[in-house]
Amino acid sequence: GLKEDPKKYTKMKERLVGVSEETTTGVKRLYQMQANGTLLFPAINVNDSVTKSKFDNLYGCRHSLPDGLMRATDVMIAGKVGVVCGYGDVGKGCAFALKQAGARVIVTEIDPICALQALMEGFQVLTLEDVVSEGDIFVTTTGNKDIIMVDHMRKMKNNAIVCNIGHFDNEIDMQGLETYPGVKRITIKPQTDRWVFPETKSGIIVLAEGRLMNLGCATGHPSFVMSCSFTNQVIAQLELWKERTSGKYEKKVYVLPKHLDEKVAALHLGKLGAKLTKLTKDQSDYISIPVEGPYKPPHYRY
Amino acid sequence: GLKEDPKKYTKMKERLVGVSEETTTGVKRLYQMQANGTLLFPAINVNDSVTKSKFDNLYGCRHSLPDGLMRATDVMIAGKVGVVCGYGDVGKGCAFALKQAGARVIVTEIDPICALQALMEGFQVLTLEDVVSEGDIFVTTTGNKDIIMVDHMRKMKNNAIVCNIGHFDNEIDMQGLETYPGVKRITIKPQTDRWVFPETKSGIIVLAEGRLMNLGCATGHPSFVMSCSFTNQVIAQLELWKERTSGKYEKKVYVLPKHLDEKVAALHLGKLGAKLTKLTKDQSDYISIPVEGPYKPPHYRY
Amino acid sequence: GLKEDPKKYTKMKERLVGVSEETTTGVKRLYQMQANGTLLFPAINVNDSVTKSKFDNLYGCRHSLPDGLMRATDVMIAGKVGVVCGYGDVGKGCAFALKQAGARVIVTEIDPICALQALMEGFQVLTLEDVVSEGDIFVTTTGNKDIIMVDHMRKMKNNAIVCNIGHFDNEIDMQGLETYPGVKRITIKPQTDRWVFPETKSGIIVLAEGRLMNLGCATGHPSFVMSCSFTNQVIAQLELWKERTSGKYEKKVYVLPKHLDEKVAALHLGKLGAKLTKLTKDQSDYISIPVEGPYKPPHYRY
Amino acid sequence: GLKEDPKKYTKMKERLVGVSEETTTGVKRLYQMQANGTLLFPAINVNDSVTKSKFDNLYGCRHSLPDGLMRATDVMIAGKVGVVCGYGDVGKGCAFALKQAGARVIVTEIDPICALQALMEGFQVLTLEDVVSEGDIFVTTTGNKDIIMVDHMRKMKNNAIVCNIGHFDNEIDMQGLETYPGVKRITIKPQTDRWVFPETKSGIIVLAEGRLMNLGCATGHPSFVMSCSFTNQVIAQLELWKERTSGKYEKKVYVLPKHLDEKVAALHLGKLGAKLTKLTKDQSDYISIPVEGPYKPPHYRY
In the structure, what pLDDT confidence band is assigned to residue A179 with cuts at 50, 70 and 90? very high
Going by C-alpha positions, the residue among B98, B101, B69 that lies closest to residue B83 is B98
Domain range list for chain D: 15-48+222-287, 52-217
Torsion angle of the four alpha carbons D142, D144, D150, D155, in this order, in degrees rounded to the nearest 10: -30
In 3-state terms chain D splits into helix, strand, coil percentages (rounded to 5) of 40, 15, 40
Q: Which chains does B contact via 3+ CB–CB distances below 8 A? A: A, C, D
Give residue-wise pLDDT tens across range C125-146. Answer: 999 999 999 999 999 999 999 9
In the structure, what pLDDT confidence band is assigned to residue A11 with cuts at 50, 70 and 90? confident
Query: Is the fold of C15-48+222-287 the same as that of C52-217?
Result: yes
Residue D58 three-state SS: helix
Nearest to D116 among C265, C283, C295 (CB): C265
In the structure, what pLDDT confidence band is assigned to residue A151 with cuts at 50, 70 and 90? very high
Stretch (H or E) spanning B107 = strand B104-108
Q: Which chains does A contact via 3+ CB–CB distances below 8 A? A: B, C, D
d(CA A85, CA B3): 61
- Which residues from chain B sit within 8 angstroms of residue C102, using beta carbons? 59, 62
d(CA C264, CA C239): 13
| Range 100-139 of B in CB contact (< 8 A) with D | 102-105, 116, 119-124
D132 or D13, greater pLDDT? D132
| Residue range A268-285: mean pLDDT, rounded | 97
Determine the distance in angstroms separating the CA of A170 from the nearest CA of chain C, rounded to an integer.
30
The answer to whether residue C72 scores a pLDDT higher than 80 is yes
> Would you call A87 an interface residue with chain C, using a CB distance cutoff of 8 Å?
no
| Residue range D231-248: mean pLDDT, rounded | 96
- Would you state the pLDDT for residue D6? 81
Peptide bond into B294 cis (omega under 30): yes
Q: What is the largest CA-CA distance in chain C?
A: 74
d(CA B82, CA B104): 6
User: Among residues of chain C, what percentage have pLDDT more than 70?
Assistant: 99
CATH of domain D15-48+222-287: 3.40.50.1480
Fold of D52-217: Rossmann fold (3.40.50)
Q: Give pLDDT tens digits along chain B (302 positions).
A: 567 788 887 788 889 999 999 988 789 899 999 999 999 999 999 999 999 999 999 999 999 999 999 999 999 999 999 999 999 999 999 999 999 999 999 999 999 999 999 999 999 999 999 999 999 999 999 999 999 999 999 999 999 999 999 988 899 999 999 999 999 999 999 999 999 999 999 999 999 999 999 999 999 999 999 999 999 999 999 999 999 999 999 999 999 999 999 999 999 999 999 999 999 999 999 999 999 999 999 889 99
| Residue range C10-14: mean pLDDT, rounded | 84
Give residue-wise pLDDT tens across range D130-157. Answer: 999 999 999 999 999 999 999 999 999 9
Give residue-wise pLDDT tens across range C289-298. Answer: 999 999 999 8
Please provide the distance, in angstroms rounded to a whole number, between the alpha carbons at the two ends of chain C. 44
Residue type, B220: G
Going by C-alpha positions, the residue among A82, A135, C116 that lies closest to residue D225 is C116
Give residue-wise pLDDT tens across range A19-36. Answer: 999 988 789 899 999 999
The answer to whether residue A169 scores a pLDDT higher than 90 is no
Going by C-alpha positions, the residue among C229, C263, B100 that lies closest to residue D115 is C263
Contact between chains at D78 and B102 (C-beta distance less than 8 A): no
In the structure, what pLDDT confidence band is assigned to residue D2 with cuts at 50, 70 and 90? low
| Residue range D158-162: mean pLDDT, rounded | 98
Nearest to A104 among C78, C79, C124 (CB): C124
pTM of the model: 0.96
d(CA C276, CA C265): 11
| Range 49-78 of A in CB contact (< 8 A) with B | 50-51, 53-55, 59
